[in-house]
Amino acid sequence: MSQLTFSEAEFVNKKHRTRREIFLQRMDQLIPWSRLEKKLAKHYPKGETGRPPYPLSVMLRVHCLQLFYNLSDPGMQDALYEIESMRRFAGLRLSERLPDETTILNFRHFLEAHKLGKVLFEEINRHLKAQNLIFREGTIVDATIISAPSSTKNESRTRDPEMHQTRKGQQWYFGMKLHIGVDDALGLIHSLETTPANASDINHAHQLLHGEEDRVWADAGYTGIEKRNEHPGMDWRVALRPGKRAQLPPTSRLARLEKAKASVRAKVEHPFRYIKRVFGYDKVRYRGLAKNDNRLHVLAGLTNLLIGRKYLPT
Sign of CA dihedral 174, 217, 265, 268: negative
pLDDT in tens, 67-102: 999 999 999 999 999 999 999 999 999 888 999 999
For residue 170, what pLDDT is reported? 87
State the Cα angle at 134 between 201 and 292, rounded to 5°: 40
Overall average pLDDT of the 119-145 stretch: 92
**48 pLDDT higher than 80:** no
Q: Are 146 and 283 in contact (CB under 8 A)?
A: yes
pLDDT in tens, 197-219: 999 999 999 999 988 888 999 99
Half-sphere exposure in the Cβ direction for 154 (13 Å, CA):
9
Alpha carbon separation from 4 to 9, 21, 24 (Å, rounded): 6, 19, 21
pTM score, whole prediction: 0.92
Strand locations in the chain (E): 138-147, 164-168, 171-183, 189-196, 215-218, 235-238
DSSP conformational letter for 180: E
Half-sphere exposure in the Cβ direction for 83 (13 Å, CA):
17
For residue 314, what pLDDT is reported? 60
For residue 3, what pLDDT is reported? 66
Percent of the chain with pLDDT over 90: 75
pLDDT in tens, 269-281: 999 999 999 999 9
